Amino acid sequence: MITRDFAYHAPADLGGVTAALAGGDAVIVGGGTMVVPDMTHGRTTPGVVVDLSRAGLAGLTQTAGGEVVVGATTTYTQLLRGGELAPLLRRVAGGVTGGPQIRNKGTVGGSACYANPSSEIPAALLALGARMRLASARGVREVAAADFFTGAFTTERRPDEVLAAVVLPSPDGPAFGYHKLKLSESSWPIATAACVRGPGGWRVALGGVAATPLLVTIESADPRHVRAEVARVLTEPWSDVLADGDYRRRVAPVVALRALKEGEAS
């Protein structure tokens, strides 16, 4: 039960959102799949709630320069039905658990801003070289995904900022792969790997294995090379009730290799 009264705003555009956030102490609701339960259980007790559902921030568009802008409130279902411009994100959306409720309500921006180490979108954004477009009453700035995720459940976003969109440098093309390791169909992933072929080799982003997603560039899918590169970046593995750090250290290169295998076959 939500015990504290709060002011509720559901602005009709981005300007209304940034105005409502200007005080700096509001909680944003994207799809609400994480933050509403947090409010119900008293883990978050905001005085102001800003609901993005009417702000017109959903959908994928391609700019004249070829970049793909994914609106922050784009849901997993929208990625599945119209995600041709972002096939890796669509691939990730296809494996999200929780049924239609989560797929229809959960958003790209909510996943990124919650920054749960086990969430799947952050590592995919890192592999894609995405930029996070943050808006506030002070203006708009963009932060590279590599700099956005600062720790478990923490990001570079300031309290008065909304993530308006993520910007992908170009459609990720046919060469990408994704793999995740879970204990059961409905559990959080223990490790994920998203890979995208770039000019210098494969950009492989590991999720679930550390507080923040980790990026390695892999020139060839040679297992010894992959193991060495993963070991180089995975210095502080994440540990939780699903698996300890040693287990994650052992499975991370295997998950990376499986993503690369899928990528090389694509």
Ligand X SMILES: Cc1cc2nc3c(=O)[nH]c(=O)nc-3n(C[C@H](O)[C@H](O)[C@H](O)COP(=O)(O)OP(=O)(O)OC[C@H]3O[C@@H](n4cnc5c(N)ncnc54)[C@H](O)[C@@H]3O)c2cc1C
Task: Tell me if 176 sits within 8 A of 91, measured CB to CB.
Answer: yes
Site for ligand X contains 94 (CB under 6 A): no
Stretch that binds ligand X, among 59-67, 92-100, 236-244, 252-260 (CB under 6 A): 92-100
- Rounded CA-CA distance 129/194 in Å is 12
- Rounded CA-CA distance 59/142 in Å is 19
Of residues 47 and 66, the one with the C-beta less far from ligand X: 47
Closest distance of CB 225 from ligand X, Å: 28
- Rounded CA-CA distance 41/31 in Å is 17
Closest distance of CB 67 from ligand X, Å: 19
Closest distance of CB 192 from ligand X, Å: 8
Q: CA 17 from chain center: how many Å? A: 21
Site for ligand X contains 2 (CB under 6 A): no
Site for ligand X contains 77 (CB under 6 A): no
Among residues 149, 106, 107, the alpha carbon closest in space to that of 126 is found at 149
- Listing DSSP states for 36-84 in one string gives HHHHHTTS---SEEEE-TTS----EEE-TTS-EEEETT-BHHHHHHH-T
Residues numbered 129 to 188 that lie near ligand X (CB under 6 A) are 157, 162-163
Site for ligand X contains 27 (CB under 6 A): yes
Closest distance of CB 21 from ligand X, Å: 9
Site for ligand X contains 119 (CB under 6 A): yes
Site for ligand X contains 109 (CB under 6 A): yes
Closest distance of CB 98 from ligand X, Å: 3
Interaction site with ligand X (CB under 6 A): 27-35, 52, 72, 96-98, 102, 105-107, 109-111, 113-114, 119-121, 157, 162-163
